[in-house]
């Protein structure tokens, strides 16, 4: 992660000339909700000339106190910087607030860190391109308190030129990952990672509820047993990923037939008075795969029941 502001010798902004002839890149942040405010604060703290705009202007007050410029009109906020970061509730809001000043976006780099879908990202790029703006889509894999720490990962996709020009500026927010020129890739991977996270959270609450039926405290069970076990299990993911890539699912340690022979987890959950509804879909998939004749496969072969078939 970079904490030094990037000095641009190729950005034409007359107010910020440094003694070495280079300039600090000015940044505009549109949207000052929980996340947008933290992004703006990070730019200010990192030394960037930061301009902010929000529908509810009062939210800019604290940032202005820290040194940001608060713009009353969104057009003025856009005019202040070559780099415009947008972080609002959703794409409809982004479009709604940018539409009236679309003609002001020509020549700008717009980085949209609003959550959305791959299709929304592609549509946004098409629209930005028609306005003469360079577009980067982004997916923030962190909560506001993690921004500017090593735990914040931000995915980017879209204009390679825009990313190359502003990579160092963006690095002040966290660890940047550029996924390629298709703007859909950042939201797609963002949602894929969140899906992995919710799978883990679902397993976590079921495990804690089950262990808790005989008095285990959630905190003790989590730190002393669950986390070490899950960490050990995490180490099996690369091998499973290899099986998915090669299509060779032959069981090495634990066949699906063995794993799906009895719904012990479901049965014990019922006996203990815990709902197994977070676990049940996974068990149903394992069972179905065995019924279809793949009992000798490893768990990874279950992906064949859910993934989109590749066209040959």
**Which residues of the chain form contacts with ligand FVH (CB under 6 A)?**
31-36, 54-56, 59, 87-90, 93, 96-97, 114-115, 140, 143-144
Q: Which is nearer to ligand FVH, 77 or 260 (CB)?
A: 77
Q: Classify the phi-psi angles of 273: left when phi > 0, otherwise alpha if psi is within -120 to 50, otherwise beta.
A: left
How long is the chain?
Answer: 312
Q: Which is nearer to ligand FVH, 184 or 274 (CB)?
A: 184
Cα–Cα distance for residue pair 287/275, rounded to 1 Å? 19
Report, in Å, the least distance between residue 230 CB and ligand FVH. 23
* 3-class secondary structure, 173: coil
Report, in Å, the least distance between residue 48 CB and ligand FVH. 19
Report, in Å, the least distance between residue 60 CB and ligand FVH. 10
Number of separate helices (H) and strands (E) present in the chain? 14, 10
- Nearest-CB residue for ligand FVH: 33
Q: Which is nearer to ligand FVH, 194 or 258 (CB)?
A: 194
By CB neighbour count within 10 A (0-12 exposed, 13-18 middle, 19+ buried), where does 292 fall? exposed
Report, in Å, the least distance between residue 187 CB and ligand FVH. 10
Q: Which is nearer to ligand FVH, 97 or 282 (CB)?
A: 97
Cα–Cα distance for residue pair 301/53, rounded to 1 Å? 49
Report, in Å, the least distance between residue 87 CB and ligand FVH. 5
Cβ atoms of 133 and 151 within 8 Å: the answer is no
Q: Which is nearer to ligand FVH, 31 or 295 (CB)?
A: 31
């Amino acid at each position: 992660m970079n904490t030094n502001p990037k000095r641009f010798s190729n950005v034409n902004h007359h107010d910020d000339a440094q003694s070495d002839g280079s300039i600090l890149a000015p940044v505009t942040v549109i949207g000052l909700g929980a996340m947008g405010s933290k992004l703006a604060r990070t730019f200010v703290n990192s030394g960037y000339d930061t301009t902010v705009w929000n529908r509810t202007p009062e939210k800019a007050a604290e940032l202005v106190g820290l040194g940001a410029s608060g713009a009353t009109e969104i057009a003025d906020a856009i005019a202040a910087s070559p780099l415009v970061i947008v972080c609002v509730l959703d794409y409809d809001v982004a479009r709604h607030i940018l539409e009236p000043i679309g003609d002001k976006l020509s020549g700008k780099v717009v980085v949209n860190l609003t959550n959305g879908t791959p299709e929304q990202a592609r549509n946004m790029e098409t629209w930005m391109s028609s306005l003469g703006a360079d577009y980067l889509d982004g997916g923030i894999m962190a909560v506001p308190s993690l921004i500017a720490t090593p735990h914040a990962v931000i995915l980017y996709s879209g204009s390679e030129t825009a990313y190359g020009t502003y990579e160092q500026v963006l690095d002040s927010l966290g660890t940047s990952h550029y996924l390629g020129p298709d703007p859909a890739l950042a939201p797609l991977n963002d949602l894929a990672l969140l899906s992995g996270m919710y799978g883990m959270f679902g397993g976590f609450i079921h495990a804690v509820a089950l262990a808790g039926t005989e008095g285990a405290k959630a905190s003790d069970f989590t730190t002393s047993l669950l986390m070490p076990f899950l960490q050990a299990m995490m180490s099996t993911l690369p091998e499973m990923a290899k099986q998915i890539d090669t299509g060779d699912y032959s069981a090495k340690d634990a066949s699906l037939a063995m794993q799906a022979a009895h719904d012990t987890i479901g049965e014990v959950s019922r006996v203990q008075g815990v709902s197994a509804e977070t676990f049940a879909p996974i068990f149903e998939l394992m069972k179905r795969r065995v019924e279809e004749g793949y009992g000798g496969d490893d768990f990874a072969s279950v992906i064949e029941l859910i993934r989109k078939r590749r066209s040959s």
